[in-house]
Amino acid sequence: MRHFIRLLQAAGLCLALWLPLGAAAQTYPERPIKLLVGFGAGGPTDLTFRKLAELAGKQLGQPIVVENKPGAGATLAPSTMARIDKPDGYTLAAATAGLLRYPYVQKVDWDPMRDFTWIAGLGGYTFVLAVKSSSPFKTVKELVDFAKANPGQLSIATAGAGTTMHLLSEAFAGLADIRMTHVGFKSSSEAMTNLMGGHTLAAVDAAGSVMPFVESGDLRLLMNFDAESPEWMPQLPTAKSLGYDLVYPAPYGLVGPKGMPAEVVARLDTAFKAAIDSAEYKALLKRLRQTYWYKGHDVYPQWAAEFYQSERSLVQRAKLERR
């Protein structure tokens, strides 16, 4: 009898622990939500997620507050969240391709598939190679010829070591058989400032960071890394069309700590889907030259698992795989 009573008490305790979580999930959200972004303020990722936070917050009835936390190839923000925050839906993080790549580059104490809840895929970038409009390089061939004649003197700016832009730079250099010097900054805006100031000879970045300077006549685009030339600049060659087997779509999305309640995940997915479908957000996509791309919470984890496996090849081509 005493054993039976203890079993009933244990069952009651488990029920008591479960009920608040279930009730909380049903009333979520009841307070503001924090969204960590792994890039500095002012760049395309920051602008993208600030607008998403604004629009999704309206859907949820609570503000979503963006906090910039750059570092570690844009993985510092989500990895910190995974380590210290509760899976209650009140701390989220932007997930860029680096989250599914960085473990191949550096030894880390987290696992992209084990330590996160993959909530929704929300869009994608177009990456471009740019130089100053006053640069003598008017084509990729001219830039490559310079780099071959002057090993190591070609400097390429990006938004940070370990980012997609960094790996594209290294992979391009490897395919072109040139030596270049990578210069990583904390944000795209810093990279653009240094390119404009003549401190670097070129930059690889998201089109949204570069196009305002192209439109003002200060920068020139040499190529992009999509499968096809973008409709907003159809004359811009792709890396593949120039003989470099480098096609790289770079989707971004939303993650939380592992173990989030299914109801909370579905609520967030619905809110952010409404955000990316809004006319206001589509206008931002057009301005930033980003692409509409959506994966719901039912398929996003599987996509992430497949992308994680494929990322090793880009790291290997860039010769940055850790040993």
pLDDT at 265: 98
Q: What is the pLDDT of residues 133-163, one digit of tens each?
A: 999 999 999 999 999 999 999 999 998 888 8
Domains of the chain as residue ranges with CATH = 29-125+250-317 (3.40.190.150), 127-242 (3.40.190.10)
pLDDT grade, residue 219 (50/70/90)?
very high
Q: Name the pairing type of β-strands 154-158 and 202-206.
A: parallel
Q: How far apart are CA 203 and CA 217, in angstroms?
A: 16
∠229-233-235 over CA atoms, to 5°?
Answer: 70
Chain centroid to CA 224: 17
CB neighbourhood size of 19 (10 A): 10
Residue in the structure block whose two tokens are 């997915």: 269
Residues 151/179, Cβ–Cβ less than 8 Å: yes
Q: What is the pLDDT of residues 171-184, one digit of tens each?
A: 999 999 999 999 99
Residues 69/236, Cβ–Cβ less than 8 Å: no
Residues 252/125, Cβ–Cβ less than 8 Å: yes
Token pair recorded at residue 214: 């192209």
- Please give the model's pTM, rounded to 2 decimal places: 0.79
Q: What percent of the chain has a predicted confidence (pLDDT) above 70?
A: 92
As to burial, measured by CB atoms within 10 angstroms (0-12 exposed, 13-18 middle, 19+ buried), residue 283 is exposed
Residues 219/133, Cβ–Cβ less than 8 Å: yes
Q: What is the pLDDT of residues 242-268, one digit of tens each?
A: 999 998 878 999 999 999 999 999 999
CA atoms within a 13 Å half-sphere pointing along the CA-CB vector of 134 = 6
Bridge partners of residue 35, in order along the sequence: 66, 92
**Nearest one of 125, 123, 119, 124 to 60, comparing CA atoms:** 119
pLDDT at 13: 46
Residues 229/236, Cβ–Cβ less than 8 Å: yes
